[in-house]
Amino acid sequence: MNVTIVDYNSGNISSVINSFKEVAKEKVNIEVTSDLEKIKLSDKVVLPGQGSFKSCVDALNGISGLVDTLDEFAINNKKPLLGICVGLQMFADIGYEETETKGLGWIPGKVSKIDNQNNKYKLPHIGWNQINIVKDSKIFKDIKNNSHMYFVHSYEFIPEDKNVISATTEYSSKIVCSVEKENIFGTQFHPEKSDKIGLKIIENFINL
């Protein structure tokens, strides 16, 4: 099996790479690339993302053919894809960080700044938060409800269809922190930084 982590200059993804390799061991080939042919031939794809919504979208668009290849992989061929942090946010139609930016449009919705209730809550939201699993998601197999995950973000994905939401977390309000739509999975939190429970989520995705 080949799992590709898309490397499109979206910030430091070394922790993502290390975590997937730790879980995969010798059983699964982990490829880190932006090579379109290798992505097409992958069994599963991971779309990480650090920084702003706009910078990540611009980086994706900066590699000729990459967005079309990801569309073909996830939408046309319906192969499993996992978005992490801004990787999840880019599933949206539109994001409002820095400026209005068009997303991938895979899951209708928008990405807006977290309401910090007049500075009552610090942004970015950094640290460990409990998640409330609201849907029987495949990547949450054997994950206990109210498990703690690690977050670093100031913006949140607000999907139009609430049925895609698989987990939420409470900060300044109820924030969507995981989605699942058919073969497309996403986490706002960082499983690669969430200790053994995060590694279990990565294992669940690899084993789909």
Of the residues 56, 85, 153, 203, which is catalytic?
85
Is 56 assigned a catalytic role?
no
Q: Are strands 29-33 and 2-6 parallel, antiparallel or unpaired?
A: parallel
Is 148 considered catalytic here? Answer: no
Give the active site residue among 97, 156, 180, 192: 192
Residue pointed to by tokens 């206990």:
144
Q: For residue 70, which of 34, 29, 28 has the smallest C-alpha distance?
A: 34
* Catalytic-labelled residue, pool 56, 177, 180, 190: 190
Query: What's 92's DSSP letter?
Result: S
| 79 in Cβ contact with 134 (< 8 Å) | no
Reported in sequence order, the residue ranges of 34-147 that DSSP labels E, i.e. its strands, are 44-47, 81-84, 94-95, 101-102, 109-113, 125-130, 132-133
Pick from 83, 99, 66: which is nearest to 159 by CA?
83
Asked about 153 being catalytic, the answer comes back as no
Catalytic machinery residues: 85, 190, 192
